[in-house]
Amino acid sequence: MWICSALPPDLSVMQAGLTCLATSFVEAFLEDYPGSIRKTTGFEDGKTHRDFTEYGKARFHRYIRDNALREDLYGVVGVLKALRHYLGLPLI
């Protein structure tokens, strides 16, 4: 399963079912940095939004940079493509 931790829960890409990172990747981060989440919201469709603390968000960005594989970021690229589409921008 994939989750989207970086986007607000009311963003249309999340409502469309587009997601960002593998659940296992986020869970690995939370095992190392358990105090990084302010609030977790579950949705009926099984998706999860996590509201990071300021420290948690900065640490998560570093964790992604240091640990993410190309496969871990495919969902992020999909979200960026969707945003460009919704905004009427050309895909690169």
**Which residues are within 8 A (CB) of 4 and not within 5 positions of it... i.e. 6 or more apart?**
13, 14, 18, 19, 20, 21, 47, 49, 75, 79
Q: What is the pLDDT of residues 45-77, one digit of tens each?
A: 777 888 889 999 999 989 988 988 887 777 778
pLDDT for 84: 86
Q: Is the pLDDT of residue 10 over 60?
A: no
Q: What is the pLDDT of residues 36-46, one digit of tens each?
A: 999 988 888 77
Neighbours of 21 (CB within 10 A): 22
pLDDT for 86: 84
Q: Is the pLDDT of residue 18 over 50?
A: no
> Residue ranges per domain, the chain?
2-86
